[in-house]
Structures are given as C-alpha cells and as structure tokens.
Chain A
Amino acid sequence: MNALTVALEIFRYKPGHPMRYDTFTVEIEETAHVIDAIDLVWARHDPTLTFRRACHHSSCGSCALRINGIERLPCITRITDVCDGKTPIRLEPLRNFPIVSDLVVDVSEFFQRMSATGMTITCEAEDYLPLTVDSFAVADVVPKMVELPENLSRFNRFEQCIECGICMSACPTMATDRKFLGPAGLAAIYQARHKTDDPVTVKHLLGLADGEHGVWRCHSAFECTEACPQAVDPAGKIMALRRELALRRLQRLFRK
C-alpha cells in the first residue's frame, strides 16, 4: 500500500486561551480515514489534542466534525476523498454548539431536543423479526437466537439516526435561533407522531412542532438532509410535519 504525506490544519481552543489553527504533517496509508490521521497527530505530535471517537464505523456519531468546512464523520471519510495534495485538510468542530476544547463540542443541547419527543428515532423501514441473532455473539460461535421479551410485540432496531449532531451544525437557521428545535429534534417528533394515534400524545407532539421554534422556523436550506451521514432526511420530515399542520388548520377553518 502507498503512504501519503498529509497536512492537517486543526482548529485549537482551550478555555482561557485564544483560538488558533495548528498544522501537522503525518505519513499515512492512502486507504486510511481522516480519524486515523487525527489519531496519529494525537499519538505522535500533540497529546493535548482533544477529539472524540469510539466505534470507527459510523455507528456512534461521536467523532462528527467539519472537514474542509463540511460536516462529516471522519471515521468513514477517506483521506483521499478530502485531500487534494496541495492544501491542508482543515478540521474544525461542529458549528452551532458551544466549543469545549479543540474539536469537542458540548452536544447536551442536541440531546435536550431529542428528549422533548419522549423517544429515540426508530426506523420504519427495518424488518421486524420475532427472533433475532444475538448481536453480541462472537464471530466463530454459533449465533444465539434471542427470545422476544414479554413486553415487546416485535424487535425494532434503532433507526439510522446516530445522534451525531451533524444536521444541527449544517443548518443555517440554528446559527441564529438557539431555541430552534432543529432538524434532528423535528425529525424525532415526526417519528414519534407516526408511532402513535393517541390524541393527547399527537396533540403534544404537533404542538411542539407548531411552536415558535418549530417547523415554521425552518427556511428550507435542505443542508441537514444533504449532510446527514445516515439518510435520515430531516428536511423531508419537517416538510411532512408542515403539511399535516397546514391540513389540520384548513380542516378546522372549513369546519367553522
């Protein structure tokens, strides 16, 4: 395999110190991902560099940051896809979140929005199985079938949304309205609403979406859907909520 010499221009910030950009050069395999390059910088150049990573395969969303200005997951972004060989790869933290240190942002606002719906986003398109293979089984061990717990009618895998916060960073409206429920929060409301017909819950969820910082704050840049690494399509969910709210208002109008 060929090795590449890659320059990384990394955003740096430590509390009490002014922000700056530091440039590091690393030798790395051409098949490597951006997270591998960040790991190398941390291991060989600067152990004070702060960043998040865990799964290395786009399941946890914790490593999300901006690569050359665009929100991406460095664990699945190949070095060769973002390196032109001339200019350094610029790495910056997500936008629209308070910056804690270097590439790490405080994502608590994201989870506050998600919890407003009372549920996590779940996938409609997944197959539901009465029995499923134990996902923790070791590769060369015969897979163990897991019994469906009594209180569940079916298994329901967590949806594509990996709660990385990329959509909130990509959204230009989030930049000037910190109370905006945001793409992930509104997509979660959409999913929660379509999981229930209970009138009280539906009224609560649509009330959230119809609020001052709800779906009508979205100004249709569609960047959330463009940037989402898991095809959740938050913009589509927001527009669908708008349609339902508008239809309900029209129905009320004609009933009167």
Chain B
Amino acid sequence: MQTLNYTKTKQAARWFDVRRRKAGMWAYALNRITGIGLVIYLYLHLGVLSLLIRGQSSWDTFVGVARSPFVLTLDVILLAGILIHGLNGLRLAITGFGFSMGAQKALFIIVMLIGAITLLIAAIKIFTI
C-alpha cells in the first residue's frame, strides 16, 4: 500500500508546534528549546574558559566585553533558560512519578511565576551591581 510519510525534519518540528495546544505542550516545547539552548551555551562557556590558556590580557579583554549591556542581556536570557528548564524539570519529576497529575497545569503556572519573579530580581541585580 502506497502511503504518504512526512520527512524526519517535519516530524521533529512537531515538538514545537504549540498552536491551539494546552499548557503541558507549551511546557514540553519550552523545555526542548531551553535544553538545546543550554547545551549550546555549555560549549560556548567551555570555549570562553579556554581563553585562560592565552594569558591574563585576553581574559581581561573578555571580562571587559562581558560587562557590556549586550552581554548582560544575554546573561539574563541564559538565566531565563536555566530557570525555565530547572523549575519545569522539578514539575516533571513530581508528575513523572504519578504525583499531582491533576495539578500539572497549575504546577506549570506556579513554577513559571516563581521563575519570572526570580528572573526579575536577578535581572535588576545583574544590571545594577
């Protein structure tokens, strides 16, 4: 029987298709996006740390760049990714073992609110210290 099958790329794009979907799907997509972002950051971080091999001057130059508003904004985005991924991970650990299943949407909203408040406080600190 001849059938139509979509390509793997199109299939994978469905991870992020949140149109008309509920809170659980939004949490799923956010976790995937932030997870991929954090893996990319990990490699960038290792690359930046390798500047230490080149001596103090190259590291000092980097620290100067790291204090620019652009990089500080990237820091806030990074923190947002960590908070979303980490707090949602806690929610998944709870629901993943059959606890509070009926409250998974409420849990998502609660952890995202905690994340938003933490991010706001951290962002103020990052830009004022």
A residues with a Cβ closer than 8 A to B are 13, 15-16, 19, 68-70, 95-96, 98-100, 106, 172, 175-176, 219-223, 226, 235-236, 239-240, 242-243, 246
Contacts and interface: CB of A to CB of B under 8 A. Distances in A.
Contact of A176 (B8, B19, B92): B8
Interface centre among A69, A99, A172 (most CB of B within 10 A): A172
Interface stretch (B10-18, B41-49, B59-67): B10-18
B8 A239 contact: no
B22 A223 contact: yes
A239 B97 contact: yes
B56 interface: no
A69 B17 CA distance: 10
The 10 A-B pairs at the shortest CB distance, nearest first, are namely A222-B24, A98-B3, A221-B28, A243-B98, A15-B2, A99-B4, A175-B14, A239-B98, A175-B11, A243-B97
A172 B3 contact: no
Contacts of A106: 1, 3
Contacts of B104: 220, 222
Nearest to B104: A222
A236 B101 contact: yes
B34 interface: no
Interface centre among A68, A175, A176, A226 (most CB of B within 10 A): A175
Interface of B: 1-5, 8, 11-12, 14-15, 17, 19-22, 24-25, 27-28, 31, 92, 95-99, 101, 104
A172 B28 contact: yes
A96 B8 CA distance: 11
B25 A221 contact: yes
B101 A235 contact: yes
Contacts, number: 80
A172 B19 CA distance: 13
Nearest to B21: A223
Contacts of B12: 175-176
Chain A interface SS verdict (over half): loop
B74 to A, nearest CB: 27
Interface centre among B8, B15, B96 (most CB of A within 10 A): B96
Contacts of A235: 24, 101
A106 to B, nearest CB: 6
Contacts of B27: 220-221
8 contacts: A69-B19, A69-B20, A106-B3, A172-B17, A221-B25, A222-B22, A226-B24, A236-B98
Contacts of A95: 14
Contacts of A70: 20-21
Contact of B11 (A99, A176, A222, A236): A176
Contacts of B11: 96, 175-176
Contact of A223 (B24, B97, B99, B101): B24
Given A222-B22, A226-B21, 9 more contacts: A15-B2, A98-B4, A98-B5, A106-B1, A172-B28, A176-B15, A219-B31, A221-B28, A243-B99
A166 to B, nearest CB: 14
A215 to B, nearest CB: 9
B19 A246 contact: no
B24 to A, nearest CB: 3
Nearest to B10: A175
